[in-house]
Amino acid sequence: MKKRILVLGCTGSIGTNTLKIIRTMPELFSAVGLVAHTSSEKLETLAAEFNCPAVLTSQEPDGIRRLIQETQPDIAVNGIAGSAGLEPSRIVLDAGIDLALANKETVVMAWPLIQKLAEKHHCRILPVDSEHSALFNLIEKFNKDSVSELLITASGGPFRTYTKEQLSVVTVADALKHPTWKMGKKITIDSATLANKGLEVIEACRLFGFSPDAVKVVVHPQSIVHSLIRTRDGMLYAQLSDPDMKHPILSALTWPDYTDNVLEPFSLFDHELTFFPPKTENFPLLGYAFEAARAEKSYTIAYNAANEVAALAFIDKKIQFNDIPRIVRTVLDKDWSMEPDSFETVFSADTEARMEAQKLI
Ligand SMILES: NC(=O)c1ccc[n+]([C@@H]2O[C@H](COP(=O)([O-])OP(=O)(O)OC[C@H]3O[C@@H](n4cnc5c(N)ncnc54)[C@H](OP(=O)(O)O)[C@@H]3O)[C@@H](O)[C@H]2O)c1
């Protein structure tokens, strides 16, 4: 039977890759509903091509709920950018639908609540972030009790080899030139500051139930090894493929099964693989993420919100590259010890952190 897929953020990078898979494998998948925010023309074209209903959330805030009722999908891919992705994740799980989750902010902001909701409605959450898809597959095969450490790879972004002085004058155009991945603007800036890796560290701790001390970041400029696990006996196991988000999306859509590979097969001979420790002194946002992950409570919400506001302000050329970590640091130094024990408290901490960041801008 075909899997019926709702694509949230269908006009973005994750959404486009999801639709490419659906086009390539029509015997396995069909798009039954499409959601975008403001790209109305693109959405209209896609809805005509896939012959399914579509919703523009900027025009219909309750549109996702309506679309789910109308189309009864088997799974939703959440490729919405930023913290705007949390509420759609909640709506999907509340409706008892499995979630293929690219939107890492959902996990960083509200994992305990999201996990509880998934358990209540017997839904699965399948990670789409390439590193977490790799870890998910590896942990599943080796079983969590055998795993002592998670090693998340990072390309290092376009400024991997820059000095602090060079970093102080980089432009938005420089930061948007990611060496290996083609992604939306916000995540590309986060890859340049290593905030994206910071969010992924928090995401990994939560998705897989590991303490921040058991998570390491390894810079691997080729983005071929997507992550590794260390088993208790000291061995390392890795997942390798070309840097193409269709791999983790396909893995989430077919889990627990595997399909024959329809993508370009990966060849070991064409690549040199190198690994380095991250330069935490030049990219402080990585260290701040570990700090927020250890502090828990509302600290990860504040980290995410302050970074999102600062990254967007940098894209709008309102601040310099090095102001992004400064703003996050100042916001994190406030008191975020309130427990985010309801979606309302999560959104209230998010709003407060945004206001603090905005004041600094
Ligand atoms: N791109 C990647 O390779 C990649 C890899 C791993 C994880 N992720 C994660 O996946 C998510 C999406 O990233 P992306 O790179 O695909 O972003 P993107 O290219 O910027 O696309 C964002 C999508 O979200 C929609 N959107 C924006 N604001 C919205 C709102 N307020 N409500 C509903 N929809 C909204 C956009 O619709 P409009 O076009 O109408 O604005 C667009 O379809 C992020 O959380 C990112 O961290 C991405």
Distance between Cα 162 and ligand 1 center (Å) = 28
DSSP 213: G
Exposure string for 7-41, b = 16+ CB within 10 A, e = fewer? bbbbbbbbbbbbbbbbeebeebbbbbbbbbbebee
Distance between Cα 81 and ligand 1 center (Å) = 3
99-122 mean pLDDT: 98
* pLDDT band of 261, cuts 50, 70, 90: confident
Distance between Cα 270 and ligand 1 center (Å) = 31
Kindly give the residue spans of alpha helices, DSSP state H, lying in 261-334: 284-295, 299-315, 323-332
Q: What is the pLDDT of residue 321?
A: 97
Q: Residue 275: CA atoms inside 13 Å, Cβ hemisphere, count?
A: 12
Ligand 1 site, CB within 6 A:
9-15, 36-39, 57, 79-81, 84-85, 102-105, 129, 181, 183-184, 187, 245
Nearest CA to ligand 1 atom 5: 129
Distance between Cα 7 and ligand 1 center (Å) = 11
How would you class 156 by CB atoms within 10 Å of its CB: exposed for 0-12, middle for 13-18, buried for 19 or more? buried
Q: What is the pLDDT of residue 262?
A: 79
Q: What is the pLDDT of residue 182?
A: 84
Tens digits of residue pLDDT in 17-52: 999 999 999 999 999 999 999 999 999 999 999 999
Tens digits of residue pLDDT in 135-182: 999 999 999 999 999 999 999 999 999 999 999 999 999 999 988 888
Distance between Cα 8 and ligand 1 center (Å) = 9
State how beta strands 125-127 and 98-101 pair.
Answer: parallel
pLDDT exceeds cutoff 90 at 265: no
Nearest CA to ligand 1 atom 20: 184
pLDDT exceeds cutoff 90 at 80: yes
Distance between Cα 234 and ligand 1 center (Å) = 37
Query: Would you put residue 347 in left (φ > 0), alpha (ψ -120 to 50) or beta?
Result: alpha
Q: Mean pLDDT score of the chain, rounded to an integer?
A: 97
Tens digits of residue pLDDT in 321-344: 999 999 999 999 999 999 999 999
pLDDT exceeds cutoff 90 at 350: yes
Residue 47: count of CB within 10 angstroms of its CB: 18
Q: Which of 7, 37, 200 to mutate to test the pocket of ligand 1 (most atoms within 8 A of CB)?
A: 37
Tens digits of residue pLDDT in 170-222: 999 999 998 888 899 999 999 999 999 999 999 999 999 999 999 999 999 99
Nearest CA to ligand 1 atom 36: 9
Nearest CA to ligand 1 atom 43: 9
Q: Which of 61-65, 134-138, 264-268, 349-353 has the lowest mean pLDDT?
A: 264-268
Q: Tokens in use for 165?
A: 């002085």
Q: What's the Rg (C-alpha) of the chain?
A: 20
Q: What is the pLDDT of residue 121?
A: 98
The residues, any chain, with a CB within 8 Å of residue 116's CB and separated by 6 or more, are: none
Q: Which of 10, 183, 185, 242 to mutate to test the pocket of ligand 1 (most atoms within 8 A of CB)?
A: 183
Residue 62: count of CB within 10 angstroms of its CB: 10
Q: Tokens in use for 146?
A: 């055998």
pLDDT exceeds cutoff 90 at 240: yes
